[in-house]
Amino acid sequence: MDRVGVILCGGCGIGDAVDLDAVAAAAAAAGAAATLVHPCCCAADGLEAIRAAVAAHALDGIVVAACSERAKRQELASLGFDPAGMWRVALREHCAWSHPAGDEDTRMLAEDLVRMGLARMRGCRPIVPVAAAVSDTVLVVGGGRAGLEAARVAAGLGHPVVLVEKGEALGGRLAAQRSVVPEEPPYDRPHPNPIPGLIAEVTSCSDITVLPSTTIGAITGQPGRFAVRLDGPPATELTVGAIIQATGARPYDAHALGHLGYGASPDVITSEQLEVMLLAGAVVCPSSGAQPGRVLFIQCAGSRDDQHLRYCSSECCATTLRQAHELRAIDPKSEIVIVYRDLRAPGQLEHLFAGVQDMAGAMMARGDVDRVRVDGRLSVELSNSLLGEHAAVEADLVVLAVGMVPTAADGELIRRLHDARHQAEHAESAQARADAGRLAGELSRHQGTEILNLGYRQGPDLPALRYSFPDSHFICFPYETRRTGIYAAGTVRAPMGSAQAAEDGAGAAMKAVQCIEMAKRGEAVHPRAGDCAWPEFFLQRCTQCKRCTEECPFGTLDEDAKGTPELRELRCRRCGICMGSCPERIISFQDYSVQMVADMIKAIEVPEDLEGKPRILALMCENDAVPALDAAAANGATWNPWVRVIPIRCLGSTNVIWIAEALSRGVDGVILIGCKYGDDYQCHFIRGSELASTRLDNVGETLQRLALEPERIKLVELSHDEFDRIPLVLDEFAASLEALGPNPMKGF
Amino acid sequence: MSSIPVVQPSSKFREAFAKRGGAAAARCYQCAACSSVCELAPAAAPFPRRQVLWAQWGLVDRLAADPGPWLCHQCNDCSLRCPRDVAPGDLMAAVRGMVVECLAFPRAFGRLVANARTTWPLLLLGPLLFWVLLLGATGRLVLPAADPQLGGLEGRFHYQDVVPHALIYAVYVTATAWVAVALWVSGRRYWRLLGAGAARHGSFLANLFPVLGDIATHARFKECGRGVPRRRWGHFLLMWGFVGAAATSGFAILYLYGGTPIFDWLGLGHGYPLPLDHWVKWLGNLSAVLLVLGGTLLYANRLAVGDRLVGATTGSDRFLLYTVIGVVVTGVLTEAFRFVALPMAAAWLVYVLHLGIVLTLFLTLPYSKLAHVVYRTLAMVHERMSGLTTG
């Protein structure tokens, strides 16, 4: 933007703390096309004054130096600027409220903040949203309860649906169940199986095309226009706008549970096998064909166990309670024992649970099952029981409540398998070929597990996180996966019961529809929902290093044969991680680029003499760290006045050139504050802070070569709620820099 | 591994236990709120959480061999605090009922009384019929005649004319001996069960006396979390009323051996009928007053504290209650009819009814709630001897 005006607000105490006329003069000196000081910008006359200034000076962009961007959003949005036209500087939180009024340092801070905003704004270019034909169709993969519900809801929202099912019939695992856990008041008895009704509704809906016995041959493209090839009778090609993966789960293989007697006695069965008998209306001991006098359920059979499934499948307890009710209905005399570690029957399931407790002849026993003896009558030996000692319970039929394993493929591992196979044949050294061969062997179990067959650079399926479930930060981003436009729902996403799977299907359908509608407007989806800017690649300078295609957490970039990135704009979440990764700095958004942040750093006035005031650059994640700093200011915290904060989209967008730029200009230290990473990551973009940390390790080596202390750079993980900690982090860093002495590059 | 206890969760036990008032045991999730609020639970072996678990798991042997249910004085504070409505107080009462029935000598009598809800006609009419038959057999089915020789405080006639004292003594001494034997056998069984579970130290008698002191003053009732004074003093009066009534009967028996110097000195040499102002009469009447007062206090307590604190009342509880009321009412009427000019038939009827119902009370004593006299005392002695401390 060429004509950028600076609006300075004097409200909320800013005018009392800072001499705004001096700041305005500094802004004018730094090239502002106009400056406006107003005592209350968010009031009607303030907004009117801004409009008048914009019109009078023909401004194409403004820097609003007032409060945090989280305040007065609506008021300032009414000015009608897009993100490339308006930048907000949190003069109130980052300067006026957190530093002594009238201080020289406070004024210098205000001037720097405004100059930085101005520098940034001048680098912005107009945003032209991606425009492309978008398909309204939603592809649902899997015809279980979640998939059926997703199809029903998406169709109800006016979208055509294609429902693909690998098997011959719809219904999934639930189709073979006598009933489901209660879903409506009084919640104290099994609920009739809703699957037949749901199937009838879906198959009779004219907007839903059901394709049984069909798998996915290939998916390419991006949200709004995925090109899908279906393998089925007949093979079909179609374009869809969004995809819901609801491929469900399968029961854990009980053959691994020899210590519980499975395989050793025919009278040790799984809950699935019991369900078959319940459906047939006769429960018998397979060994003798006689009615069991006592049926014993073992909960957590192979679940929450380091040797087997490490997680809780969450629905086995409810299933057992339901089966106990069904068993009782078939044979009121049979005794029921439920051995559990923690019986989980949350919410209204309490009523189902209480019903089993009240059954005469039903007993719930807490304990860990050590083993099941199969010589003679089955005897289940417990330790850690509530008796505080070992105990044994005899039974005629033992039912193992096994957990569930998601029917998901691990896209990243499949790709690593393919890469390793390729390397095993083509690597240059014999050692590399042998290593790759070994890796391929370890990963061979992923051979042929593909479901979605995505033609993505990063692998043919969704990336998985813990326990092989698709990586999905459900609390922050429900149903989102790391592949934009593809949503996971039901037991493939997380272990859950049937009612929750139905809810999941509906939720994912709404996300899919939302994605299609946003694609039509060229907007990013969560978490930068509505952002229409997109990354431009100056490919003439691309060295095909593939860092961007590797590091994008969302698989946005494909590659051509040479390894040049191919952008699929609508897969992009606009985090800027590619921008941070690029050693050639050829990736820029219209409103966010390496150059723009570098210009902001240049706009910081660094006192040149070694005895002068130090300067500290703080690159902070705008999702967590900056809001935490705002909250700190609102709570009256103060921090070192030499810190200059630059909000960035994600630490992952940090390009090391920024750090080099800062240090070469005499800034004494650089602190990066971002989200927690690791398995419990809090990063909005999955791996941003982790990638930044890796990049900093490399920078540390460079610093040592330049005879600069690596301690001048620091990365801190911090969450949104740690507003009490963030001023301490800044002050401690400032103190450590003071101990190191000034940056020797000052003044060069 | 053979030492592992085999849990037998039988539906039969569950159903039987439910009938005694322990139906809600299965609801317990072992939060131990009950044990925490109980002021009487010994720190080393707190109740009633464990007992609820044993009931859930059908561990009858452990329930029977545990002093906890008897150390409990059923204030029902636990039932009030229980977040799952398990009513541990009722459960402890159910365990006590189970122990009384299971350790009864002979077992069949225990079952008969435990099932008083259905067997009550037999339990009431049996002794009554016995008296009628006995009187018929001894040719005494006659109405008494008024005796003008008697003084104003001696009444209109002799009850001895209705039933000779010898007959009464013969029957009740035998019944008392039987009760003593039954309680002795049950008590010994229980004492051995307790001993198998914990090592005891010290002499029985040395530990019995402090326990009796405790019982005499009802000190423990004071400790109960919900130990409202009405409960303590109601039970206190009731207990001393029974003790007084028993003492009255005892002195009456001593009359058989009247004439020795010591009896003369006590004024026991007096011939029948005793005048109303004789001290034995005073003792008997005072006991009746205590029983009525105590009973009234307990009844007032039931009305005041609400259902949860009252707890469940089983069929055999009711039977005992009505029997005691019957004894008191017929006893008081029997005495009153000596002085009231009613047809002799009324006095006869009331007297025979009284004799019958007293016999019922005697014979059912080792199998009813009243057996707690032995079990609770033993449990309290055991508590002291085995080093459990009340915390």
The predicted model scores a pTM of: 0.85
List all residues 6 or more positions away from A654 whose beta carbon is below 8 Å from its beta carbon.
A580, A619, A648, A672, A692, A695
**CB-based burial of residue B121 (10 Å sphere; 0-12 exposed, 13-18 middle, 19+ buried)?**
exposed
What is the rounded average pLDDT of the residues A454-479? 89
Tens-digit pLDDT profile for residues B146-156: 877 777 777 78
Short-list A163, A368, A139, CA closest to A244: A139
Instruction: Nearest chain B residue to A295 by CA: give it.
Output: B9
CATH code assigned to A1-127:
3.40.50
Instruction: Nearest chain A residue to B30 by CA: give it.
Output: A386
Separation between Cα atoms, residue A253 and residue A257, nearest integer Å = 8
Tens-digit pLDDT profile for residues A167-190: 999 999 999 999 999 999 999 999
What does A557-581 look like in DSSP terms, one character per residue?
A: EEE-TT--EEE-GGG-----HHHHH
Asked if B247 is an interface residue toward chain A (Cβ–Cβ < 8 A), one would say no
**Cα angle A84, A85, A88; round to 5:** 95
What DSSP designation does A300 have? Answer: E
Contacts of A390 in chain B (CB under 8 A): 1, 4-5
Nearest to A363 among B18, B30, B57 (CB): B57
β-strands A138-141, A242-245 pairing: parallel
Tens-digit pLDDT profile for residues A330-355: 999 889 999 999 999 999 999 999 99
Q: Which CATH number fits domain A254-403: 3.40.640.10, 3.50.50.60, 3.40.50.300, 3.40.50.10490?
A: 3.50.50.60
List all residues 6 or more positions away from B239 whose beta carbon is below 8 Å from its beta carbon.
B215, B218, B294
Instruction: Supply the pLDDT for residue A61.
Output: 96
Cα Rg, chain B, nearest whole Å:
23
Domain ranges of chain A: 1-127, 138-248+462-520, 254-403, 411-448, 536-588, 606-748
**Are A391 and B5 inside 8 Å of each other by CB?**
yes
Nearest to A354 among B6, B27, B56 (CB): B27
pLDDT at A458 over 90: yes
Residue A324 near residue A368 (C-beta atoms within 8 A): no
Tens-digit pLDDT profile for residues A538-565: 999 999 999 999 999 999 999 999 999 9
**Are A392 and B9 inside 8 Å of each other by CB?**
no
Q: For chain B, what percent of residues have pLDDT higher than 90?
A: 51
pLDDT band at B261 (very low <50, low <70, confident <90, very high): low
**Are B5 and A392 inside 8 Å of each other by CB?**
yes
What DSSP designation does A289 have? Answer: -
Nearest to B11 among A335, A364, A386 (CB): A335
Count of alpha carbons within 13 angstroms of residue A491, beta-carbon side? 27
Instruction: Supply the pLDDT for residue B267.
Output: 62
Q: Which CATH number fits domain A138-248+462-520: 3.50.50.60, 3.40.1000.10, 3.40.30.10, 3.40.50.150?
A: 3.50.50.60
Neighbours of A442 (CB within 10 A): 12
Among A565-569, B180-184, B259-263, B332-336, which is the least confidently predicted range? B259-263
Phi and psi at A84, nearest 5°, equal -85, -5
Q: Considering only the top CATH level, what class is A536-588?
A: alpha beta
Count of alpha carbons within 13 angstroms of residue A637, beta-carbon side? 22
Separation between Cα atoms, residue A555 and residue A543, nearest integer Å = 19
pLDDT at B43 over 90: no
Phi and psi at B178, nearest 5°, equal -65, -45
List all residues 6 or more positions away from B6 whose beta carbon is below 8 Å from its beta carbon.
A379, A391, A392, A393, A394
Residue A335 near residue B11 (C-beta atoms within 8 A): yes
Assigned fold of A606-748: Rossmann fold (3.40.50)
What is the rounded average pLDDT of the residues B7-27? 82
Separation between Cα atoms, residue A674 and residue A647, nearest integer Å = 10
What DSSP designation does A453 have? Answer: -
Separation between Cα atoms, residue A230 and residue A240, nearest integer Å = 12
Neighbours of B150 (CB within 10 A): 15
Å from A298 to nearest chain B CA?
Answer: 15
Residue B234 near residue B297 (C-beta atoms within 8 A): yes
pLDDT band at B391 (very low <50, low <70, confident <90, very high): very low
**Are A364 and B56 inside 8 Å of each other by CB?**
yes
Which of helix, strand or coil describes residue B333? Answer: helix
Alpha helices in B58-115 (DSSP H): 60-64, 68-71, 77-81, 88-102, 107-114
**Are A363 and B26 inside 8 Å of each other by CB?**
yes
Contacts of A386 in chain B (CB under 8 A): 30, 53
Cα Rg, chain A, nearest whole Å:
31
Structure tokens at A479: 């149903």
Tens-digit pLDDT profile for residues B272-313: 677 778 888 899 899 999 999 999 998 888 888 877 788 888
Separation between Cα atoms, residue B314 and residue B117, nearest integer Å = 8
Q: Which residue has the tokens 């409009």?
A: A51
Å from A307 to nearest chain B CA?
Answer: 25
Instruction: Nearest chain B residue to A392 by CA: give it.
Output: B6
Instruction: Supply the pLDDT for residue A224.
Output: 96
Å from A316 to nearest chain B CA?
Answer: 19
Instruction: Supply the pLDDT for residue A516.
Output: 97
Sheet holding A225-231, edge to edge: A215-222, A225-231, A236-240
**Are A362 and B15 inside 8 Å of each other by CB?**
no
Neighbours of B202 (CB within 10 A): 12
Asked if B5 is an interface residue toward chain A (Cβ–Cβ < 8 A), one would say yes
Which of helix, strand or coil describes residue A204? Answer: coil
Tens-digit pLDDT profile for residues B64-113: 999 999 999 988 999 999 998 899 999 999 999 999 999 999 999 999 99
Contacts of B30 in chain A (CB under 8 A): 366, 386
Residue A737 near residue A667 (C-beta atoms within 8 A): no
Instruction: Nearest chain B residue to A336 by CA: give it.
Output: B9
Å from B32 to nearest chain A CA?
Answer: 12
Neighbours of B36 (CB within 10 A): 12
**Are A337 and B8 inside 8 Å of each other by CB?**
no
Between positions 57 and 76 of B, the ones with CB within 8 A of A are 57-59
Contacts of B82 in chain A (CB under 8 A): none
Separation between Cα atoms, residue B162 and residue B164, nearest integer Å = 7
3-state helix, strand, coil in chain B (%, to 5): 70, 0, 30
Q: What residues form DSSP beta bridges with A379?
A: A373, A394
Structure tokens at A531: 């952002």
Contacts of A360 in chain B (CB under 8 A): 11, 14-15, 18
pLDDT at B1 over 50: no
The rounded mean pLDDT for chain A is 94
List all residues 6 or more positions away from A365 whose beta carbon is below 8 Å from its beta carbon.
A337, A338, A339, A340, A382, A385, A386, A391, A393, B7, B9, B56, B57
Separation between Cα atoms, residue B102 and residue B117, nearest integer Å = 18
Short-list B176, B181, B185, B221, CA closest to B380: B221
Å from A255 to nearest chain B CA?
Answer: 26
**CB-based burial of residue A235 (10 Å sphere; 0-12 exposed, 13-18 middle, 19+ buried)?**
exposed
List all residues 6 or more positions away from B322 whose beta carbon is below 8 Å from its beta carbon.
none
Angular region, A576: left φ>0, alpha ψ -120 to 50, beta rest: left
Nearest to A335 among B4, B9, B57 (CB): B9
Tens-digit pLDDT profile for residues A721-738: 999 999 999 999 999 999
